[in-house]
Amino acid sequence: MQAIIRHSVKISFLGIAVLSWVVIWWAFVQQPVTISLALDNPLIAQGTLGRDPEGVWFGGDTQIAVNRFDDTQWRLIKWRWRQATDTPLDVHVHIAAVDLTTPTTGSWRMVHLLLPHNPARLPLDIQSATIRVPNDSRDLGVIMDSLQVTRLLATPGWTVVMASDYWMLLIVALVWLWRGRWVGVGAFGVLCVVYGAMMLQEIPSGFASPSLWLDRTNRYALCMLVVLFAWVQRRRQVTTLAARGRRFGLDVMRAIAITCVIIAHSTPLFFAAWANDRDIFKWFVNIGAIGVDIFFALSGYLIGAILLRTMERFDDFAVVKQFLYRRWLRTLPAAYVSAIVVWFVAAPQNISDYVMSILFVGSFNAWRLSTENTFWWSLSTEELFYLLFPLLLFLCIKKFPRVKAFAITIIIFAGFTMLCRVVLEWTLPIAIIDNIQNVSYACLDAMVWGILLQWVRQSRPQWFIRLSHIGFAPGAVIFASGAVLLLDPLRWIVLTWFGCHILIVVGAVLMIPAMESIKTLGWRSLDRVVGWIALISYSLYLYQVMMSDFVFHQYGFATSWGMVVTSLAMYFGLTFLAATISYYGVEAPVLRWRDRHVTER
């Protein structure tokens, strides 16, 4: 039987790998031969003056992104242009190593430019003098129309080589996942589906602005990173479960999560121009959501331990109340103290929204989320989970055997949440569709996956130990798949808002068994710093937004690198100072009182 399973795993791995290569090869074969560029699109052309019926007028300096078919050996760029009547001006064209000057007249002229492969993706730069014409207030250069980029025919060998180059990341991931058995097969399937979807998405645009994994430099870097992870993990062995109590490996995950959130909310302190740069700010903005997903995975895992320990007595409502009291004492006192402090640091402007947020209902209306204390949406999700999951489990235990009641609770909870996301995707306008990720009741399933892992830990400990050996690689791959979708959400709207956070949470959950076995990072001073950050992580979460607002109100957007450094130093310093005071002044005393007076039965 074991031999059959091993052979089935191998066949599955190889079958998915071959199919993925075929999909990539087919994507290159099926690319359109010619792409027409919309010159009135500011993401394609900058320095234009608007569209006339005949074409788009340029100013004296216009840059056009013509990075189509960058992996093709040769491309043909073709356009037609003219100038206003009786205003001939010389036009200078520059791209890569090509420089030419051409006179342009009032009649249409065709230009054909043959270009080789250019990995730098330099823009087509068109410069000319400008002139005013009667009845027009614009400084006009040339008018261009019908700009097209044509992929010249390539040999079949080129298609095979390029498909293999794009396939390299998948084959390296396959080698890393090989020891993961069926968990590895599942992760490899997820990776190939996401990667294939990206390939097919880029076909109509000729790979104009490839996603993270489709960029050659990033592919090579990721391959090296995978090899590094595989090398570091090669000798790690776990034979027993970690004891109850604080575990350093989970503190590492907490520290990573809160660091992601703090960095994400530092964005107002950088240069204003960066806010519109998708290649810079998408990293800053979205790692905050990634950090919150890690927190959800950890929360479900740790709360699941409490629920499963007390489930034998969960038909007694006193046990349910005790669970709720302990959770509320853990979260609410520090939260409401921070809600008072915010009035002295960065006072709210909309009182009704502020009240809605601190009552944990500011993120219920997907069409209009609260504009004050916006980060409380995640606290609202946690509090809603603490309230509804135990109550639903209590009601189910009254009707069904405990194991069946637990399964029914999980299914209802996860199914209802996913259905909410589907409904919101269909009903929300495209302009606010990203509100889905901040609606409390649409995120409750994030903690279910951690509860399931805790069930494995308590009911099937050998499976858990096995996951500590084989779960990190599949978890990292699934986590990365969700994170990449989140970085460019508007490209894959349906898949992103329904599934990217599921992938991130599931990936984090699969990594928990391996992370839980970590005892040290190899440097005692670093261990202490990580432990301290994890200890005050909840208070850090409560104070980081108000400190960012405070520093921004003092300085505004940065105008120099010195100002960036100063603002960030003040932001991080104030955040960690406030969090330390909050932990030792509020969190720790309340927890000591809770453990004395509201003990867990």
Q: Are 473 and 437 in contact (CB under 8 A)?
A: no
**563-572 pLDDT per residue, tens:** 888 889 999 9
Residue 9 has pLDDT above 70, yes or no: yes
Q: Which residue has the higher pLDDT, 96 or 522?
A: 522
- State the CB neighbour count (10 A cutoff) for residue 172: 19
The dotted CATH code for 34-153 is 2.60.120.1320
pLDDT at 145: 83
Question: What is the share, in percent, of the chain residues with pLDDT greater than 70?
Answer: 93
User: With left for phi above 0 and alpha for psi between -120 and 50, is residue 373 left, alpha or beta?
Assistant: left
What's the token pair of residue 281? 């700010």
Residues 398-411: what's their mean pLDDT? 89
Question: What is the share, in percent, of the chain residues with pLDDT greater than 90?
Answer: 30
pLDDT band, residue 85 (cuts 50/70/90): low
**30-83 pLDDT per residue, tens:** 888 888 888 888 878 888 887 888 888 888 788 888 888 877 778 888 888 887
User: With left for phi above 0 and alpha for psi between -120 and 50, is residue 146 left, alpha or beta?
Assistant: left
Q: Are 336 and 358 in contact (CB under 8 A)?
A: yes
Residue 346 has pLDDT above 90, yes or no: no
pLDDT band, residue 229 (cuts 50/70/90): confident
Residue 147 has pLDDT above 70, yes or no: yes
Query: Amino acid identity, residue 2?
Result: Q
Report the chain's terminal Cα–Cα distance, integer Å: 44
Residue 4 has pLDDT above 90, yes or no: no
- State the CB neighbour count (10 A cutoff) for residue 530: 21
Mean pLDDT of the chain: 85
**327-338 pLDDT per residue, tens:** 999 999 999 999
Q: Which residue has the higher pLDDT, 509 or 598?
A: 509
pTM: 0.86
- CA 557, CA 566: separation in Å to the nearest integer? 12
Residue 278 has pLDDT above 60, yes or no: no
Q: Are 57 and 197 in contact (CB under 8 A)?
A: no
Q: What is the dihedral of CA 195, 196, 202, 207, to 10 degrees?
A: 60
Residues 179-198: what's their mean pLDDT? 89
What's the token pair of residue 553? 């109100």
- Where does CATH 2.60.120.1320 sit in the chain? 34-153
Q: Are strands 55-64 and 89-95 parallel, antiparallel or unpaired?
A: unpaired
pLDDT at 284: 72
Q: Which residue has the higher pLDDT, 300 or 162?
A: 300
SS3 70: coil
- CA 89, CA 92: separation in Å to the nearest integer? 10
Angle between helix 248-264 and helix 278-310 axes, rounded to 10 deg = 140
Q: Are strands 89-95 and 124-128 parallel, antiparallel or unpaired?
A: antiparallel
pLDDT band, residue 119 (cuts 50/70/90): low
pLDDT band, residue 479 (cuts 50/70/90): very high
